[in-house]
Amino acid sequence: SQQGEEDPQALSIQEGENATMNCSYKTSINNLQWYRQNSGRGLVHLILIRSNEREKHSGRLRVTLDTSKKSSSLLITASRAADTASYFCATDKAAGNKLTFGGGTRVLVKP
């Protein structure tokens, strides 16, 4: 079973626009990580946010975490065609523990 659910399942935007996707989870967590996957290939790690953090930035990425609502969001600013991919959130309950993934958001950035 999957811990998280991403919303929306699919997103289509124009190059230069911002893309926002959300992740909800069911149980308490230790960390939440976001990954990108291109065309069914390996997962690329984007960002890790700890349960005691509320916001984190990395380049054009902004991640927020609301543990009271058990949800996280990933914002990609000024999107590029190369951002076209599936994005997954993954949670763990303890350090070094297994990751539980959501079903992903498929993002299409049109040039």
Partner 1 sequence: DAGVTQSPTHLIKTRGQQVTLRCSPKSGHDTVSWYQQALGQGPQFIFQYYEEEERQRGNFPDRFSGHQFPNYSSELNVNALLLGDSALYLCASSLGGLNTEAFFGQGTRLTVV
Q: Give the Cβ contact number of residue 90 at 10 Å.
A: 23
Question: Among residue numbers 25 through 54, which ones bind partner 1 (CB under 8 A)?
Answer: 30-31, 33, 35, 40-45, 48, 50
Closest distance of CB 85 from partner 1, Å = 14
Binding to partner 1 by residue 91, rule CB under 8 A?
Answer: no
Query: Any contact of residue 103 with partner 1 (CB under 8 A)?
Result: yes
Query: Which lies closer to partner 1 via its Cβ, residue 42 or residue 111?
Result: 42
Which C-beta is closer to partner 1: that of 17 or that of 55? 55
Residue listed under structure tokens 């349960």:
51
Is 2 among the residues that bind partner 1 (CB under 8 A)? yes
d(CA 107, CA 76): 11
- Residue 91's contacts (CB-CB under 8 Å, 6 or more residues apart) are 3, 4, 25, 29, 30, 31, 32, 33, 99, 100
